[in-house]
A and B are shown apart, each in its own frame.
Chain A
Amino acid sequence: MIFSVGHKFDVEQIEEVEADVAVIGSGAGGAVTAKELAEIGYKVAIIEEGHYFKTEEDFNLDPVDSFAKLYRDAGQKITLGSPNVMLPIGCSVGGSSTIFSGTCLRAPSRVLKRWQWQLGLTEIDESEMELLYKAVEEYLFVQRADPEVAGENARLFLNTAVEKMGLSGGWLPRSAKDCEGFGGCVLGCPSGAKQSMNVSYIPGALEAGAQLYTRCRAERIMVENGRAAGVDARFLHMAETGESPRRLRVNSRVVILAGGAIYTPLLLLNQGICNSSGMVGKNLHIHPSLAVVSEMDRYIGNPRGIPQSSYVDEFEADGVMLEGGTVAPSVHAMALPYNGRKHREHMKRYPYSGVFGGMVSEAESEGSVSLTPRIKWRPLVKYNLKGIDLERAKLAVTIMARIWFAAGARKVITPIKGYKEITNPQDLRDLEQARLVPEDFTYLSAFHPMGTCRMGASPIFSVVKHTCETWDLKNMYIVDGSIIPTALGVNPMLTIAALAMRSAGFIDERLSGAEE
């Protein structure tokens, strides 16, 4: 242990650790590489900014408590631009996987082809990805959602869409084992059924000998002779957001950065490394998502069931994917476009309300992540929804409205100004023909940030190679959503995990000397 006088005259305690691999972040990318490399026998140190919450004690289905514990900024992160978009990001051991829906879809073939043709990523071929997907799916118990526990909301919507209207759809593949549908995926699974990283790959990595440092923020990548040589990190106070004088220095042969598509570029931009292409923080892709609420005559009983268990992909080629998404009453209340008595009236009918979500799955709009002036660890996320994506968002809303009406809805509530309530076919036709501007969308959330350190075949337009190693800094790898170069079209967790597994193979080659 080294002692030095530093920050604000506190006596800094620096703890030094030797490792083969330092992993920053414990989400789908970090956890998978950590486990794979620890199982080979490498000494792995995982650094995670959030706490390690446990299923039994901490995941209590309380939305306010869960948002404060499991989400960055208590889930209040929004993008700047038009419209403002809520951007929920996880911050605990397991990263965003702890609060994800469990949906595990493979990247569509056409997206992988686009990567090959547009970005020169010919090494990432479908047959290899299929093997990787299979391995991850097996470890995470990926299987189709059980219609018995999916909940009435999903059954009604899906049956209407598929059987009554002839649309293409089905039950989603999910990483869950013995899920009983407690309706709280986004609050941390209360039974441990959802196989997020905190209950799957992280325990696997620890069992294989990895070390995990929680409430510890990576602040700097150590660089020696053009190579990554470790990580400087700082512990945070347990109950507060403030920094403690305790520091951690991990001296390692390889550094894996897996902080997610918002915080990975932030760390690199703060330090000014790996950005010869100028692409760090650029090319932000998200899946803008909207929900349509229906008022029904029959009892629906949300949120009991699997919040996201079914999908309608009829319009996938048009860049629209519908995936169910029920939420607890307090979250539902927040998203309704009313105040006062009208809000109360609707909330009283919550048990008779249906809700389904749709996302612009291949949005072409791009945003960026940059440094906030004078605030070191706060990213500035800019995003504007534009062009054809507005039409896609509208399409998602109108399809969902049509399906709810076919299912017997008396009224549907949309997040579009001027069309908040639709009660008859004429209103719906008017909406379909309307020319919308971004400001017309009153409530949008976005999941799956991607692309801010994109992968590509050339250092001119990309940040990492197909192996996930950065072009600029040897032995420095990035394995998270930021490397996915385009909007993926589906929930990215499985693809991030598969690419991380692939990258672990290259890192092993590097460390064992087999590569040279």
Chain B
Amino acid sequence: MPFLEKAVRELTPAVIGIQGEIHPHELEEVTADVMEYVKSGTRIFQIAYRVMIFLAIFLPLFSRGKIFFWMREEARDKYLNDLFRSRFVLMRAIGTVIGVPIKMVYYNREEESKQLGFDRRAWKEEARLRAVTRDKSTQGCPRIYQ
């Protein structure tokens, strides 16, 4: 498994706060979606994300004597929150950036967002029934080229 994928797979339950609670199959899905999300960004973002992930995994070797992969659940949770509390901008940036795609993708899953009250499928259906149709005039317009 490539390093980035392995790292995202290990970081996801710790970042979301569901260590020991997520089904391996679900974790595979979230990891794949995170990878897809990162790929949709610019090359600069992809490089920056890789660097941040690399640092997130290996920095605790200096501060706690072991890399992230070897840490226990409690220690992982504490470490990730300590990043936010750090007085160093880079540390805080790591804490933020590694979490952005993971949190975004995890809470974008339909079952999660629905549970939190955002039933986007039902709302979209409702919106379709209440459509405001000023844009109908462009349907089949012969003057749109692509």
Contacts and interface: CB of A to CB of B under 8 A. Distances in A.
B137 A206 contact: yes
B64 interface: no
A303 B118 contact: yes
Contact of A73 (B42, B77, B132): B42
A64 B143 contact: no
Contacts of A213: 145-146
Contact of B89 (A302, A336, A439): A439
Interface string B110-129: 00110011101001101110
B130 A342 contact: no
B15 A343 contact: yes
A214 B145 contact: yes
A414 interface: no
A178 B132 contact: yes
Contacts of B116: 329, 347, 350-351
B124 to A, nearest CB: 5
Interface in B30-62: 33, 37, 40-42, 44-45
Interface string B74-114: 00110011011000010011011001100111111000110
Interface of B is mostly: helix
B104 A76 contact: no
A330 B135 CA distance: 29
A20 to B, nearest CB: 15
Interface stretch (A50-58, A252-260, A391-399): A50-58
A232 to B, nearest CB: 16
A206 B15 contact: no
Interface in A277-318: 301-304
Contacts of A62: 108, 120
B77 A341 contact: yes
A341 to B, nearest CB: 4
A207 B137 contact: yes
Q: Among A55, A210, A342, which residue has the most Cβ atoms of chain B within 10 A?
A: A55
Given A177-B134, A191-B131, A304 B81 contact: no
Contact of A203 (B84, B99, B134): B134
Given A213-B145, A333-B106, A378-B42, A339 B135 contact: no
Given A338-B81, A339-B95, A341-B17, A212 B127 contact: no
Interface string A410-427: 000000010010000000
Q: Among A198, A209, A330, which residue has the most Cβ atoms of chain B within 10 A?
A: A330
B1 interface: no
Contact of A214 (B40, B77, B134, B146): B146
B80 A339 contact: yes
Interface in A199-246: 199-200, 202-203, 206-207, 209-216, 235, 238
B63 interface: no
B93 to A, nearest CB: 7
Contacts of A351: 116-117
Q: Among A84, A177, A333, which residue has the most Cβ atoms of chain B within 10 A?
A: A333
A73 B103 contact: no
Interface size class of A (residues with CB under 8 A): 35 or more
A450 B93 CA distance: 27
A337 interface: yes
Contacts of A337: 84, 96
A318 B128 CA distance: 42
A257 B132 CA distance: 30
A443 B83 CA distance: 14
A76 B42 contact: yes
B134 A206 contact: no
Contacts of B37: 64, 68, 74
B55 to A, nearest CB: 15
B15 A340 contact: yes
Given A301-B117, A341-B17, A378-B42, A192 B133 contact: yes
B138 A334 contact: no
A259 B126 CA distance: 34
Q: Among B33, B42, B107, which residue has the most Cβ atoms of chain A within 10 A?
A: B107
Contacts of A332: 107
Nearest to B49: A76
Given A190-B123, A191-B128, A330-B105, 5 more contacts: A190-B127, A213-B146, A329-B117, A347-B107, A443-B96
29 contacts: A55-B135, A60-B124, A62-B120, A64-B104, A68-B37, A68-B40, A177-B132, A178-B132, A182-B126, A191-B130, A192-B132, A203-B134, A206-B137, A210-B143, A212-B143, A212-B144, A303-B118, A329-B113, A329-B118, A330-B104, A330-B105, A333-B106, A334-B103, A336-B103, A339-B83, A340-B77, A342-B81, A343-B99, A344-B16
Interface of A: 51-52, 54-56, 60-64, 68, 73-74, 76, 82-84, 177-178, 180, 182-184, 190-193, 195, 198-200, 202-203, 206-207, 209-216, 235, 238, 301-304, 328-334, 336-345, 347, 350-351, 378, 417, 420, 439, 442-443
Interface of B: 14-18, 33, 37, 40-42, 44-45, 76-77, 80-81, 83-84, 89, 92-93, 95-96, 99-100, 103-108, 112-113, 116-118, 120, 123-124, 126-128, 130-135, 137-138, 141, 143-146
Q: Which 8 A-B pairs rank lowest in CB-CB distance, beginning with the nearest?
A: A344-B17, A190-B127, A339-B80, A61-B120, A191-B127, A340-B77, A199-B135, A330-B107
